[in-house]
Amino acid sequence: MDPFKGLIDQELSRFERRLGAVLEADVELVHEIARYMSTLKGKRLRPALALLSAKAAGDWNEQVIDAAVAVEMIHAATMVHDDVVDSATMRRGREAVNARWTGQIAVLMGDFLLARALCILVEVGNLQALGIVSRATERLSIGEIFEIQIGDQRDTREESYFAMVSDKTASLISAAARIGPILVGADDEVVRSMGRYGELLGRAFQVADDILDLTSDEATMGKPVGHDLREGKITLPLICALQCAPGARRAEMEALLARPHKNEDEWGQIVAFVEEYEGVKAAAETAREYAAQAQKCLGVLAPSPAREALELAVRLVVERNN
């Protein structure tokens, strides 16, 4: 994801300094965990979108930096909580916070990040931005719970999957793309279009993540291949394969998915089924369709290097390898 961030190197440097400052607390353990989490930092997609969308809509200011910090802290909090829920031991190739310390400490650290993020947004002083990010955080939590529900119920309906993805993944990406224009005073049409852009980009991002779960390797992703499927998550390549399979094969696979405990051979059968019925190919086409729709949303913006970077972000999300 690095190429599209080159335009905002200066702003991202300010973002990193501000993020480090707001993570300071009176408790040494918080410092220790925060320093460790800084070594696990991800793509910075959400803060980059906030900054680029602000630039594309007009300019940027310190409020955008602060809002970007808050959004990234919320994202980090959900990652910490996710690892506890999933009993994950690795995050981006290193020990997850719950593995390095305890699940109890990880949950509390996630709570700290969420609380501090909301405090920052209150200090920004824009009620619309606060409402958008708060609502996105609510949707994100609902999406996380719904993901567990559809996994437990083996709900392989595409509409259920995308309802979950819209809340779990796209909500915060959409909020990031909206708050930049809001904080630089863009008109409502731009704010709405950028929110739609982020929603579609978020869907494409999650589908690409589902594909990588099956096609990448542990060294690249920092987690075992097929990890999401093994966690009982319903992913789009699996849904697409089930839709393409003849009735008997689909019933056979649904029966296998329903078994509470599966051995390595059975997991291999599931992966082979997705390959046989071209689930990855169909999912990739869906990701490209969402990417094309996201690109159209940028038509409300005047041509600029920032708009070009947002266009590049769409392509990189679909083509990424980690």
283 phi-psi bin (left φ>0, alpha ψ -120 to 50, beta other): alpha
In angstroms, the CA 119 to CA 146 distance is 27
Quote the pLDDT of residue 227: 79
CATH of the domain at 298: 1.10.600.10
**DSSP β-bridge partners for residue 94:** 91
- pLDDT tens-digit map of 288-305: 999 999 999 999 999 999
Quote the pLDDT of residue 24: 87
What DSSP element (H or E) covers 197?
A: helix 188-215
Q: What's the pTM value of the predicted model, to 2 decimals? A: 0.94
> 148 near 168, Cβ under 8 Å?
no
Question: Cα–Cα distances in Å, from 239 out to 139, 230, 261, 287?
Answer: 23, 15, 20, 14
- pLDDT tens-digit map of 97-140: 999 999 999 999 999 999 999 999 999 999 999 999 999 999 99
pLDDT band for position 270 (50/70/90)? very high
Please choose, from the candidates 36, 53, 44, the residue with its C-alpha nearest in 3D space to the C-alpha of residue 14: 44
Residue 49 predicted with pLDDT over 90: yes
In angstroms, the CA 273 to CA 67 distance is 44
Residue 70 predicted with pLDDT over 70: yes
- pLDDT tens-digit map of 188-203: 999 999 999 999 999 9
Total of domains in the chain: 1
Average per-residue pLDDT for the chain: 93
Q: Domain of residue 149: give its range.
A: 2-319
